[in-house]
Amino acid sequence: MKRTGRVGLFALLITLLLVNCRKDSQVFDNPYAGGRQQLGVMLSTDPPEPLEAAPGTVVTFKATGLVPYKDSLRFTFNAERAEVVSVDTAGIKVKVPVTGSTGVASVTIGDQIYFGPIFRVKGNLDLDPNYRATVGANGPVNEAYQMPDGRMLLLGGFWDFERKGVVKPLNRIVLTSKDGEVDRNLLSGKGADGSLGAIAALPGGKLVITGSFSSYDTHNGEMRNITLLNSNGSLDSAIVNTYTKKDTVPAFNGGTDGNIYRAYVYDNKITCIGNFNYYLSYVYNKPDFLHERDSLITDSVVVRQLIRFYPDGRLDSTFNYDLAKHKSFDGANGPISDAYMQPDGKLIIVGRFTKYNGQPAPYIARLNTDGSLDAGFGGSGADNTIYTIRYNAAKQRFMLAGDFTRFNGADKSGLVMLKTDGSIDNQFAPLPVLSGTSYLFAHQLNNGLIIVSGYFKQYGNVRRSGFMVLNPDASLAAGYNNTGDFRGYVSKVVETTSANGQTQALVLGMFSRFNEKDAGNIFRLLFK
């Protein structure tokens, strides 16, 4: 009886629970009810006819359900509106707009958008099919140095190039043919243990490399962000007398405590800029405390952002240096982002500073060969950061890019062209800058066209995302803005000429795609 009672009690509880659940159950409104009804439209992602075309060409896209909306729909190529030629039950015919660029085709009806396939717009600018590096580097490519025979020495933060680093390390340095094929004749060994950012050639043919590294090939921890290489890529070494023996060490005994990202050679001396506060050098011939073994001592001198070395690594104390205080003068009161050395040895620096050695230098300054300020270059300068400065010797013009809105008192929306005396070339008149725009790089080619990169979505009322080509008057170059969206940054452009005389531009930086194709931080453009 007790067992039966327990079962009955359990059954009673279950019954009461079910009853209560029925009483508490409520019916709520569907939170998704009342939404906008589907229009019954479909834009196919099947390839259109033709697959790619130049502006003005009529292209047919497969689509259904468009006929009721033929007078109100909007068709775009990468956000640029196209002329609708005809609409029927099978699809839509549209004309590629003059401002169209490679990207996704789409139809908009009211506030509903339907995406189609990626469409490639033909133009005068495309990836050079003769450039063999199709995979590229697995890290940023910061610098390219063209050898006398046309081969390219590439430096950066990568450790593989064209998947050839699996066989033999390609740590931060690789030699290629002019067309991007890996050349194994470079004797770089294990390469560098940190990013490389700049390269310059000494008169005798030896190469200066700089960056953020302490080892090269088998010499571990013996460098301070700068060293010399022989022309074949091997380390320039020397034998020194230590306290107990002779040792093979880097011939360049000097460096800094921070990254060196630009290097220039003039009068057989090496001028560098970077993010550092001390000059460092090794003292090899000293013993330890017990006078039993070698002790590697590091000597240091306060030197900020700007430094000049002799070819053996010694500090040049005639360059922006206070001999009385045994340290550099103050220099720029903010970061230096880029520089250009003139043929006469004067150095133009740009960045986020307003003074140089206590004198006004609003984001740009030209320095004499002793490091003192050459006042007056650039007039009153900019009102905000300048990121890059590039010079074209054929056109004798500087291009500056940055976050400034005014330069030398004139409205200049992040881009300005300067003459050799630092005055503005007013033929270049950029359009007003839009909110969120930041121009990081501008480089003029010998044909006058200007490559611009940065963070932007459009130029004027035309979609140009991250990359554009301008005329010398700062208008979009017709036929050269057909390429798609770009994400990343450009660090350098190296101009060459094809066998049939066309302009080629080797573009380096940090990016993974260009014109809807994979691009491992390097590609070459062909200007047709």
Q: What is the pLDDT of residues 207-259, one digit of tens each?
A: 999 999 999 999 998 899 999 999 999 999 998 877 667 778 899 999 999 99
Domain contains 357: no
For residue 117, being part of any structural domain is answered with yes
pLDDT of residue 26: 57
pLDDT tens-digit map of 333-365: 999 999 999 999 999 999 999 999 999 999 999
Is position 361 within any domain?
A: no
96 with 212, same domain: the answer is no
CA atoms within 13 A on the CB side of 471: 9
List, for residues 134-170, the tens digit of each pLDDT value: 999 999 999 999 999 999 999 999 999 999 998 888 9
Single out the residue of 73, 85, 4, 22 nearest to residue 48, CA to CA: 85
**Residue 279 belongs to a domain:** yes
User: Would you place residue 31 in the very low, low, confident or very high pLDDT band (cuts 50, 70, 90)?
Assistant: low
Q: What's the CATH code of the domain at 110?
A: 2.60.40.10
Is residue 74 located within the same domain as residue 196?
A: no
pLDDT for residue 510 is more than 60: yes
Query: Is 50 exceeded by the pLDDT of residue 326?
Result: yes
**pLDDT score, position 32:** 42
For all residues of the chain together, what is the average pLDDT?
A: 92
In-domain check, residue 49: yes
Quick one: pLDDT band at residue 288, thresholds 50, 70, 90? Answer: low
The predicted structure's pLDDT at residue 153: 98
Task: Check whether residue 113 and residue 215 sit in a common domain.
Answer: no
Q: Cα separation of 443 and 17, whole Å?
A: 77
- Residue 47, helix vs strand vs coil: coil
- Same domain (yes/no): 111, 201: no
Mean pLDDT of 94-116: 97
Chain centre to alpha carbon of residue 369: 30
Domain boundary residue, one of 298, 329, 360: 329
Pick the closest to residue 303 from 366, 359, 226, 213 (CA basis): 226
Last residue of a domain, one of 122, 140, 174: 122
Identify whether residues 224 and 96 lie together within a single domain. Answer: no
* Residue 116 shares a structural domain with residue 193: no
Q: What percent of the chain has pLDDT over 70?
A: 90
Residue 163 located in a structural domain: no
Q: What is the pLDDT of residues 481-502, one digit of tens each?
A: 999 999 999 999 999 999 999 9
Structure confidence at residue 175 (pLDDT): 98
**What confidence score (pLDDT) does residue 351 get?**
98
63 and 191 inside one domain: no
In a domain, 13, yes or no: no
Whole-angstrom distance, CA of residue 66 vs CA of residue 303: 69
**Residue 210 sits in the same domain as residue 109:** no
Least confident of 103-117, 128-142, 242-256, 412-426: 242-256
Q: In angstroms, how far is the first alpha carbon of the chain from the final one?
A: 100
Does a structural domain hold residue 116?
yes
User: So what's the pLDDT on residue 4?
Assistant: 43
Provide the domain limits for residue 306: 187-329
- Is the same domain home to 191 and 113? no
Mean pLDDT of 182-187: 95
- Can you give the pTM of this predicted structure? 0.90
Domain-ending residue, one of 69, 100, 122: 122
Q: Is the pLDDT of residue 113 over 90?
A: yes
**What pLDDT, on a 0 to 100 scale, did the predictor assign at position 264?**
98
Q: Are 412 and 398 in contact (CB under 8 A)?
A: no
Q: What's the burial of 392, exposed, middle or buried (CB within 10 Å: 0-12/13-18/19+)?
A: middle
Shared domain for 194 and 117, answered yes or no, is no
Number of domains the chain contains: 2
Residue 292 has a pLDDT of 60
Who wins on pLDDT, 286 or 488? 488
Residues 263-275 have a mean pLDDT of 98
Same domain, 198 and 105: no
**Residues 6+ positions from 455 with CB-CB distance below 8 Å:** 436, 437, 438, 440, 466
If asked whether residues 191 and 324 sit together in one domain, one would say yes
Query: What pLDDT is recorded for position 433?
Result: 87
Q: Are strands 80-81 and 226-229 parallel, antiparallel or unpaired?
A: unpaired
| Bridge-based pairing state of the strands 438-444 and 406-407 | unpaired
Q: DSSP E strands: which ranges in 66-177?
A: 74-77, 80-81, 83-88, 91-95, 103-109, 112-121, 125-127, 141-146, 152-156, 173-176
State the virtual CA torsion across 169, 173, 177, 178 in degrees, nearest 10. Answer: 150
Across the range 25-37, mean pLDDT stands at: 50
